[in-house]
Structures are given as structure tokens and as C-alpha cells.
Amino acid sequence: MRRAILLAATLAVFGTPALADEAVTVQSLLAKGYAVVGTVPSPIGPGLFLAQPNSLYLCFVSETPSSPAVTTRYCKPVK
């Protein structure tokens, strides 16, 4: 029982660093040298294609009249 508790505690402490990584956003991709190469309309908000020579992401953004900025909903690599 102690071993199971110790294992669970270890995983809780050391198994979460991936969650602490910064989320991929339009701003973070632009800072890494990606360029907007296309757009697509979508019911969830405009989609932006951002590319580097060997990498392509599709990001969706959203805004409201009262929002202070356009924000990234999510980005995913295109494979």
C-alpha cells in the first residue's frame, strides 16, 4: 500500500511537467518565425495556417466586441 501511495505521489509531482509547458498560440508561433500562409472561415472562428519550411499549424482564433484582443482558441500541427 505504501508503495502505491509513493508511486502515485511521484507521478503527481514528476508526471505533470508536460502540462506546465506553454500552450501553442498564434503569438508563440509567430515569435518562433512562423508566417501566416493562409486563412479559412469556420463556425468557431477564423482559422489561420502558420508555416515554416517543414512545419504547418492550423490555429483558430476568436474575439467578441467586448474582448480586449483576439485570442487563440487552439493550435494543432497539420500532419
The pLDDT value recorded for residue 22 is 77
**C-alpha to C-alpha distances, 19 to 8, 51, 52, 58, 68, nearest whole angstrom:** 17, 24, 25, 21, 26
Place of cell 466586441: 65
The pLDDT value recorded for residue 29 is 97
| DSSP H or E run through 2 | helix 2-14
* Residue type for position 8: A
Tell whether the model's pLDDT for residue 12 goes beyond 50. Answer: no
The pLDDT value recorded for residue 69 is 92
pLDDT digits 0-9 by tens, 26-73: 999 999 999 999 999 999 999 999 999 999 999 999 988 898 999 999
DSSP class per residue in 5-53: HHHHHHHHHHS-HHHHSPPP-HHHHHHTT-EEEEEE--TTS-EEEEEET
Counted residue by residue, the chain has a size of: 79
Q: Is the model's pTM score more than 0.95? A: no
